[in-house]
A and B are shown apart, each in its own frame.
Chain A
Amino acid sequence: MIVATHLRKQFVVRGKPLVAVNGISFHVKEGEVYGLLGPNGAGKTTTIRMVMGLLEPDEGYVEIGGMRTDQHASMIRKELGLISTNDGVYPWLSVREMLLYFADLYAVEVPIAKERLEELAGLLGIRDFLDQRCSTLSTGQKQRVTLARGLMHDPPVMLLDEPTRGLDVVGSQTVFEFIDFLKKRGKSVLLSTHRLDEAERVCDRFGLLHHGTIRYEGTLSDLRALTGKEHLVDMFIDLIQSDRTQAPISSSMGAA
């Protein structure tokens, strides 16, 4: 569903070029949860933005369902849902108004949007405060509204950018359940996180990102065989240490 090929993005920070993403390739199949893992600054958000079509890659391209993002930008956006750390809500709108607003932004027909709203309200447990102003909601409630918002247009591909950052155990649990739900629905999920323990629980495959390149890629058992470590955390520590000795490790294993 998602195919990223040799993505590269360079920024200019205070006059110096900084390569945020350096030639990464990966693919996510239908019904698969792909974990894009890495410490802060590894290039996760930049990658997700390029997949979204919000950033134009300097090199390489992304295909969603066979369409390239640089050619079918607005069509592809209908196929994508995005939920990220910083997502907020509109304090002066009710939950219903906000969700229907996003349905309109995705050009969903009104009757379909209303139907979907009812379905999501039951699913995410937001029915009780549908007509409440968003400013009166608790953090947990807001988070569930955000998750519902991402599904108002029922996209086949979901991008989750650090969805659990700043959430407590209950909040994180809601996100996991949400991801399970997405998987059951056969959606492709690209999850970026720096919480490796969480990733181990929900992802089918992983890409370990460091300094803008994918260092290891595969399922958990692939990675265990490759690195000889039991947990992702250990693999990362290993990776960071090997980095200090400047040993290049094979990259771009998952080029489709």
Chain B
Amino acid sequence: MQEYFSNGRLGRLCLKELRESLRDRRTIATLFLMPILVYPLLSMAMQRLIVGSVRGTSEKQEYLIGVADEDTAQIVNNSIRETQRAINAGVRPSIDIVRSQSSSSKKLDSAGADSDNADGDNADSNQRDDLQALFRLAMPERTSTSEALKDGILDLAVIQAKQTDVPLRDGQSIPVFEFELQFREGDLKSEGAMLEFRKAMQLVNDYQAAMIRGPALPAAVQLKATSIGTRLDPTASLAGVLPLVLILMTITGAVYPAIDLTAGERERGTMEAMIATPAPRFVLLLSKYVAVVTVAVLTALANLLASWITLSIGGLGRALLGEQGFSIFALLQILPLLVIFAAFFSAILLAMCSFARSFKEAQAYLIPVMLVSLAPALVTLMPNIEFSTWLGVVPLVNILLLSRDIMTGSPAPLPAFAAVFSTLIYAAAALVVASRLFGAESATAGSQESLSDLLQRPRKARALPDLGELAIYLAILFPFFFIVTNLTGQWVTEIVPRMWCNALVLLLLFLIAPVLFVWYRRLSFRNTFLLDFGASSCSKSGRFGMLSQLGWLISSVLLGLGLWVIAFELFKVLSDLGFGALSLERSESLDALKKQIRDIPFWMFLLTSALVPAIAEEFFFRGFVLSAFRHRLSAVWSIALSALIFGVFHVISGSVLSIERFFPTLLLGFALGLLAVRTGRLWPGIFTHAIHNGLMFWLTRFEEHELEGWFGKGNQHFPVLWIAASAVVVVVAILLLWFSSLDRSHENVS
């Protein structure tokens, strides 16, 4: 295996696959010709669509203005009537002439807008046909005008209206209006309504200024307009089209090479010769995978550039995506997303194509897959779809929604994180499946044999899980874990049930499920979970005397005592740096939690926050995960990668993303990984983990003023002396670990 990763051999193998696909004209066609054709055509189609949605079919645009009550309606009506007067008086302002029509306070329920039957006093206005805008008044019944505006039922909402009649010298009086209005920013229709209303009121201003030249008069109409966040935005659905097209094109780019490099290999008769070589199938597939991903990424890049140029030139970008258009910044964010997606879908494609024996068969497999994956993709085009948390782990959909949100604004951090991480895990799992399927001997036995190998219970017992099993377990675990923690974070708000809930989830997903998995795959419990309690045993980790065990015990306790101070400080520093400030409500809910935490009995606290996490997480992260890595990789890489996964899982806490937890957890993961590898046992890590968690949560039971005795007044941090002492303790613990793990018999650990 090693000889395929050295001397640039893997690079040369990849190069062969790349040559094969890039020299093929069909690949080049999808790579360059398609984007050149697709985007100009698409932009033309969209331009028509947008123009249609804004202007409508008739030239007169109708706008629905929401009012809260009869009085407001009356005032708005009066103002519009003033406009009428201005027009009748022949005021010709420089701006467009506005026709107004009011159906006095038409009832409207919140579910749907009714704008068909215009009733009321529009008889006189019908005579004028040189008018362009039409205002209707509506009164939402079961909801506020703001809400109705947000839901897209109204185009404009009147929040406040005030009318004062200012008496003139000749006994007459003229009305002066003050309005406070709301509109949806970024929504073309609502912005249009705002503009037309403003124009109409300007007309009144002009009229009054022309009629009565009094210096003491205030402006006839004062408008105060505020925009609200867009929830239902007709262009948002159009903004969703672009990611979909980009993703589709990326898929298209990957399909041909994926078929050609797998099923094509069979068809050309080169597969058997290739499989007969000592090169491991995984290496063969990896080189093909690299080639497919490269072509897919090139396609994505070509499409991204073509779409960016098209949108920038036509001004369509601004119409679709708001003021900033399709910014270079958005482009730079979407490119890595497309790369991640390419990594994911290429693996899926390779798995599907490896199953096929010929080009035709591969195409027959792929078409249903594409259609099935398109159905949820089309869902993302629906205007009301929000990038909610649980959609973050739905493959394909998550990347689509994330890129839509990047283009139109800021995406929510938690689903964004879930989208990226889960897609990477799915890619790894799909790659594993592909490498099992690839080159499976189909000459006589049928290709099902090797697929069932992956699903069925193996016949032979093995010592450790392999990386493939890890990838597949993670691909199942992560979405499950993510959704479950989210739901408990949202639904279980009481502290006591929540803590039991968390402990239960930890036990189920990190202890019971891995144990069942290990049993099902006939792996050795003892080797996978480092279960060695005896004083001297286990050929793999060498022989250790009682003295070593004592050394481990002391060093694990010391690590637990020392690490938490450093981890806590790291956490504090990162929070102060703003890593934790992702959600405003959090600090409040934390304070509320703190109060509740003080009421919990201490034993329960220890059980659910220290003991259960320590046991469950050590079984999973230092047992299952670390063992799977140790199977193939060196100790250093195994510790690093398992710590990384440990850190990533801890970033998700409840329904929020706590980036600030990543580095402290990573640090802890390194220490625990080192402990597990050096001792070859799980129990020292459980000790350290439990002590660490116990102390950390114990600290949260105190109010700030109670900690002043330790921290010093007004100080939220540990004193420097404390931190230094903890560092010394950690160093001593590691030294002790080192010397007590020196193998006294035949074989060295690590």
Contact = CB atoms under 8 A, between A and B. Distances in A.
A binds B: yes
Interface of A: 11, 20, 45-46, 49, 52, 54-55, 73-75, 77-78, 80, 82-84, 86-93, 97, 100-102, 104-107, 109-110, 149-150
User: Which of A52, A82, A90 is most buried by chain B, counting CB atoms within 10 A of its CB?
Assistant: A90
30 contacts: A11-B444, A11-B445, A20-B444, A46-B444, A49-B443, A54-B276, A55-B441, A55-B444, A74-B278, A77-B278, A78-B278, A82-B273, A82-B276, A84-B272, A87-B272, A88-B268, A88-B269, A88-B270, A90-B20, A92-B19, A92-B24, A93-B19, A93-B20, A102-B273, A102-B277, A104-B9, A105-B278, A107-B3, A107-B279, A149-B273
Contact of B16 (A73, A93, A107): A93
Nearest to B270: A88
Contacts of A105: 13, 274, 277-279, 284
B9 A87 contact: no
Interface string B271-291: 011111111100010000000
Given A104-B9, A110-B7, A90 B278 contact: no
A178 to B, nearest CB: 16
Nearest to B21: A92
A110 B276 CA distance: 20
Contacts of A89: 268, 270
A46 B270 CA distance: 18
A67 B272 CA distance: 22
A75 B277 CA distance: 10
B4 interface: yes
A79 B274 CA distance: 15
A87 B270 contact: yes
Contacts, number: 83
A44 to B, nearest CB: 12
A110 B12 CA distance: 11
Nearest to A101: B16
Interface residues of B, number: 28
A86 B278 contact: no
Given A86-B272, A87-B272, A106-B278, 5 more contacts: A20-B444, A55-B441, A55-B444, A73-B278, A93-B19
B23 interface: yes
Interface of B: 3-4, 7, 9, 12-13, 16, 19-20, 23-24, 268-270, 272-280, 284, 441, 443-445
Contacts of A54: 272, 275-276, 441
B148 to A, nearest CB: 62
A50 to B, nearest CB: 11
A82 B273 CA distance: 7
Given A55-B441, A101-B13, A107-B9, A90 B268 contact: yes
A102 B276 CA distance: 11
B326 to A, nearest CB: 36
B429 to A, nearest CB: 25
A74 B280 contact: yes
A45 B443 contact: yes
B444 A75 contact: no
Contacts of B13: 101, 104-105
Nearest to A146: B273
Q: Which 6 A-B pairs have the closest CB atoms?
A: A88-B269, A77-B278, A88-B268, A105-B277, A92-B23, A74-B278
B685 to A, nearest CB: 35
Given A54-B441, A104-B13, A107-B9, A90 B270 contact: yes
Contacts of A86: 269, 272
Contacts of A107: 3-4, 9, 278-279
A89 B269 CA distance: 7
Contacts of B278: 73-75, 77-78, 105-107
Contacts of A82: 272-273, 276
Contacts of A11: 444-445
Most A Cβ at <10 Å: residue of B7, B269, B284: B269
Contacts of A74: 278, 280
A97 B273 contact: no
Interface centre among B12, B268, B273 (most CB of A within 10 A): B273
A102 B9 CA distance: 11
